[in-house]
Amino acid sequence: MGQARKPLSPQRSPLDFWGYELRVRRDSKGLSLTDLGKLVRYNPSYLAKLERGERKPPREVAEALDHVLKASGALIRLWGAIGEPNGIRPSDHVANIGDHVANTRQVLAQMPDFPAESGEAGVTIPCRTHDGRIIFVTLPRRTFLGGIGLGAIAATAASPSAAAQSRTPASRFAAAPDLNPAEHFRQLRQVLIDNDNLLGPLRAIPTVESQIGALQQLRQVHQGSDARELLYIQTQYAEFCGWLYQDAGDFRSAQYWLDRSLEWSYATADRDITTYILARKSQLAGDMGDATTAIDLAAAASTQAHPDTRLGAIAATFGGYGHALAGDTAGSERELDRAHDILANLDPDPASTWGVWMDDAYVDVHQARGRYALGQHQQAAEDFRTAIAALPAGYHRDKGVYLARESLAHVGAREPEQAAQAGLQALQVAESTGSARIMTELARLDTQLERWPKIPAVSEFRQTFDVLMPRQA
């Protein structure tokens, strides 16, 4: 029987958090420590010490690990939140590893050059394979900004002040008692949420991950209620990070951050935030096409939700879509009707502020999506069109998602011209936000429109899509 792995304590310090992230990323790739050691040319025993938070690696080691684990800079950014490195002993390096790892000049020459964070840090963008699938590739940021396909989406950065705040050390707050760190993080999170609605996830993810690392560090210098408040905010940031990865199409990373937020939510002892995250995990399961998990998590959230609150309506809405995925028309309608009933009888003075965006129009959008899943394409297209007309002006990215889904419903109803017209509008949003949810739907649309090559609107959509969506080389 193999020896049980030592449990990690990511909440203990930024160094422990970095080690925990390293283990999760390694596990997600199915790599043992020995496998990883061969890829980065470092001793497995040294890598085990990094995972346990026993020492901080030099930056070049963090960069090597980030590269081979395809972490898109996450390990490098979290590394920056740790204090001074403990250094690396000469015996840890590949030059002193045994015969099981080749360390000749020829092998070492195969190691890639790891880009500097300033102009060459990796940016992940969608790309079409030859068989029509959507994959995500990492390019140097400088190349990306140079104009490849959807390059414009990454050019719109978060505000300079937000970027500067993401590098704010914990000592600054500790030395300035008049500066409320919790309020700083709350305000920045709202700015990031507002930017996400307009610009999409690609630029927000690095900042949000940096803030989580900073919050981890800050909690080491605060106690009592201040520390609990920071943990609550850290939980909010982790949930938001999960949403950003979900919109970027990286479901594994979205699951990781939602799992972290759920874990931390229990430590906050706040029932509402735990309920909300359970509902969000149901939503993610629905996006992944996992009907059973979507239904089960929505039911768990419904059980925890306080009566007559938006949280109950949110859980019912995501559960309704789960039932539609499972082909259960009656179950879907039952849950969506329950969501409408909850909204009609909301507590006029709710204690919770979660889900303030939840309204009848949001339920109707999920009803449209459910009808599409159930094969009711004509009705789904009409429902999406109604929902889009009711959207507030600030929901730019969401409009693109609904337009893309409307276009697919039109294809299902054998209305290729209407499908192409809605698809062209969705393309404009996809170009400005980089939402993988939009691009994945439009890739499906592009394939399905192949049946009508002579319709002018179809031809225009497909040509435009080819320009905006780079293909695999």
Last residue of one domain, picked from the residues 268, 303, 323: 268
What's the sign of the alpha-carbon dihedral 174, 167, 395, 441?
A: negative
User: Looking at the structure, do residues 258 and 303 belong to the same domain, yes or no?
Assistant: no
What does the alpha-carbon distance between residue 404 and residue 155 come to, in Å, rounded to a whole number?
24
What does the alpha-carbon distance between residue 191 and residue 250 come to, in Å, rounded to a whole number?
23
Please, which residues have CB within 8 angstroms of residue 353's CB and are 6 or more apart in sequence? none
Q: Are 254 and 232 in contact (CB under 8 A)?
A: no
pTM of the model: 0.65
Query: pLDDT by residue for the chain (473 residues), tens digit each?
Result: 445 566 666 656 778 778 888 887 888 788 999 999 999 888 889 999 998 888 889 988 998 998 899 877 778 877 877 765 443 333 344 433 333 333 322 222 222 222 333 334 444 445 555 555 555 444 444 433 333 333 333 333 333 333 334 344 444 444 344 457 888 888 888 888 877 766 677 778 888 988 898 898 888 888 788 889 999 999 999 999 999 999 888 888 899 999 999 999 999 999 999 999 999 999 999 999 999 999 999 999 999 998 888 999 999 999 999 999 999 999 999 999 999 999 999 877 666 778 888 889 899 999 999 999 999 999 999 999 998 988 877 788 889 999 999 999 999 999 999 999 999 999 998 888 878 889 889 999 999 999 999 999 999 999 999 887 755 44
What does the alpha-carbon distance between residue 90 and residue 82 come to, in Å, rounded to a whole number?
22
User: Looking at the structure, do residues 194 and 170 belong to the same domain, yes or no?
Assistant: yes
7, part of any domain: no
What does the alpha-carbon distance between residue 66 and residue 241 come to, in Å, rounded to a whole number?
18
Q: 125: helix, coil or strand?
A: strand
User: Looking at the structure, do residues 37 and 68 belong to the same domain, yes or no?
Assistant: yes
Last residue of one domain, picked from the residues 268, 295, 327: 268
Q: 357: helix, coil or strand?
A: coil
Neighbours of 150 (CB within 10 A): 22
426, part of any domain: no
Q: Are 310 and 340 in contact (CB under 8 A)?
A: no
70, part of any domain: yes
The CATH code of the domain that includes 46 is: 1.10.260.40
Amino acid (1-letter code) at residue 297:
L
Of 426, 433, 400, the residue nearest 152 (C-alpha): 433
Please, which residues have CB within 8 angstroms of residue 401's CB and are 6 or more apart in sequence? 426, 435, 437, 438, 441
The CATH code of the domain that includes 290 is: 1.25.40
What does the alpha-carbon distance between residue 349 and residue 341 come to, in Å, rounded to a whole number?
17
Q: Are 355 and 313 in contact (CB under 8 A)?
A: yes
**Which tokens sit at 216?**
């981890």
Pairing verdict, β 134-140 and 122-128: antiparallel
How many structural domains does the chain have?
A: 3
Of 15, 17, 48, 18, the residue nearest 31 (C-alpha): 48
**What domain range is 254 assigned to?**
149-268
* H or E segment to which residue 271 belongs: helix 271-287
What does the alpha-carbon distance between residue 220 and residue 217 come to, in Å, rounded to a whole number?
6
The per-type count for the chain, helices as H runs and strands as E runs, is: 25, 2
